[in-house]
Amino acid sequence: MKPKVVVLGGGFAGLSCALRLPASEFDVVLVDQRAEFEFLPAIHELLSGMKTKRALRLPLKPILETRGHQFRRGIVGSIDTGHRCVVLQRGRIAYDYLVLALGAADADFGVAGVSEHAFRFKSVDQCAALGRQVARQVRDRGSTRITIVGGGLEGVEACGELLRAYRNYAIDIRVIERSGRLLPAAPKAVSEHLHHQCEYHGVTLVLGEEVRRVMPKTIELGNGKRRRSDVTIWTGGAIPKPLFADSGLSYGKNWVDVTERLQHCDDESIYVLGDSAGLPQPLSKQAYHAIDMGEFCADDLQRRIAGRRRRVFKPSKKPQLVAFGDLDTLLIGDRMVLAGPSLGVLKEAIYQGVMVQLDGRAALPRLKGLVTRGVGLPSRLDWPVPSLSALGQRASLKKLA
């Protein structure tokens, strides 16, 4: 009998793992509360209309069935490690190996009013709703005041996309970051460059300050001052999902500790991938790391059942791309940082490449999906490759570090 692998989560890590497991060797079931994979690194482009909801999604069921696997839509209630089964809101699924790739929860840090009065920034639907609200206010009133809480990757890319769409309108954007600079984990030169871009385009930066409360049309800062905010966007960061601690897989509000093979430290039948994994050497929570983890996990499972020599997970080093609308894109490497609008072509190429890679359907549906993602979008989008004239206009790059 083939070993049964249950994969929880159809994001980058979970789907990459499932697609690498051969149906001839494993009985694979992937569980997700959504019916579709979502390309989250590009959801900021929903704010400007550069991407559509359809362009950022892939259907999980046909992709998995093409590989001989099963898809089950459901919400995980708990994990019974003693009996090796996953308890869903409707039913249970037994496993021989469990792959946890459920991502992270959205952190509000106990700030009152976030759930009621702020737009979250963690899914396609959330960003699409946000984009519609901003467009409606600009259309009906001719102006709006937007507050972005959080100056990390999500906040910066959201700001850039709003400038792409509305910088010629009467729109007031404010970014609040509790650390002293934007993208605090990046080199200082990156923060300074983005700071200059924001100031040049009229974005108000409130650094070294936090939000105490979110109210309808108003936010209250930690110093007690209040500011009007017609639209408040919350990009406060990520925390572990309560499911892990509730199921005895982690302690308190910590990530799930894993070994160098991405296995749970106390249960070798469980792998933890993506944002949820607490690695011995912490990694940034990036999609490319999640894909690498998923592929490693699938390879390790095949090695285990075949009795072959196993490896340890070694994350690949890749530069990070940060988009600032059509105004700028930054390429952040270990030894060099480059900036220039033409680098946006690389980000688009990665998006298209990963979507094709994860679309495990037959050739015709995959080709149709590729064409759909390009046709009908604004002509200024360089898809699938940039024109020579576009490159000529935007080819200048600036070395920041």
- Report the DSSP beta bridge partners of residue 67: none
Our measurement of the distance from residue 195's CA atom to the centroid of its chain's CA atoms, rounded to an integer in Å, reads 23
Q: How far apart are CA 114 and CA 111, in angstroms?
A: 6
Q: State mean pLDDT over 345-351.
A: 89
| CA pair distance 266, 309, nearest whole angstrom | 21
CA angle 242, 82, 99 (to 5 degrees): 55
The 10 Å Cβ neighbour count of residue 92 is: 12
Rounded Cα distance between 264 and 361, Å, is 32
State yes or no: pLDDT of 205 exceeds 70. yes
* Higher pLDDT pick, 285 / 233: 233
- The predicted model gives 178-201 an average pLDDT of 95
Least trusted range by pLDDT, from 206-210, 317-321, 333-337, 365-369 = 365-369
Rounded Cα distance between 56 and 44, Å, is 11
State yes or no: pLDDT of 393 exceeds 80: no
pTM: 0.91
Average of per-residue pLDDT across 351-359: 90
Cβ neighbours, 10 Å, residue 220:
17
Residue with token string 């079931």: 29
CATH class of the domain defined by 114-234: alpha beta
Tell me what the mean pLDDT of segment 243-262 comes to.
92
Q: Is 355:369 a contact under the CB 8 Å cutoff?
A: yes
Facing residues of 93 across strands? Answer: 86
SS3 347: helix
Each residue's pLDDT tens digit, 31-80: 999 999 999 999 999 999 999 999 999 999 999 999 999 999 999 999 99
Confidence of residue 285 (pLDDT cuts 50, 70, 90): confident
Inter-residue contact 204 to 175 (CB < 8 Å)? yes
Euclidean distance between CA atoms 391 and 374, whole angstroms: 18
- Low-confidence winner among 88-102, 324-338, 372-386 (lowest mean pLDDT): 372-386
Determine how many CB atoms are found less than 10 A away from the CB of residue 169: 12
Return the pLDDT at 366: 61
Task: Report the pLDDT value the prediction gives residue 218, as an integer from 0 to 100.
Answer: 97
d(CA 343, CA 321) in angstroms, rounded, equals: 8
Confidence of residue 252 (pLDDT cuts 50, 70, 90): confident
Which residues, listed in sequence order, are joined to residue 29 by a DSSP beta bridge? 6, 70
Are 4-33+74-104+240-306 and 114-234 equal in CATH topology?
yes
Give pLDDT, residue 313: 97
57/35 Cα distance (integer angstroms): 10
Tell me, what's the pLDDT at 397?
A: 84
Domain boundaries, the chain: 4-33+74-104+240-306, 114-234, 320-399
CA distance 8 to 237: 22
The pLDDT value given to residue 370: 61
| 67 class by beta-carbon count within 10 Å (0-12 exposed, 13-18 middle, 19+ buried) | middle
Instruction: Give yes or no for residue 361 having a pLDDT over 90.
Output: no
For the stretch 164-178, pLDDT in tens is 999 999 999 999 999
Render the burial of 299-322: b for 16+ CB within 10 Å, e for the rest.
bbbbeeeeeeeeeebeeeeeebbb
The model's confidence at residue 371, banded by pLDDT at 50, 70 and 90, is: low
How many Cα neighbours within 13 Å face the side chain of 161? Answer: 26
Q: Which CATH number is correct for 4-33+74-104+240-306, 3.40.1190.20, 3.90.100.10, 3.40.50.970, 3.50.50.60?
A: 3.50.50.60
Average per-residue pLDDT in the chain?
91
On the question of pLDDT at 390 being above 60, the answer is no
Look up tokens 């496993």; give the residue.
95
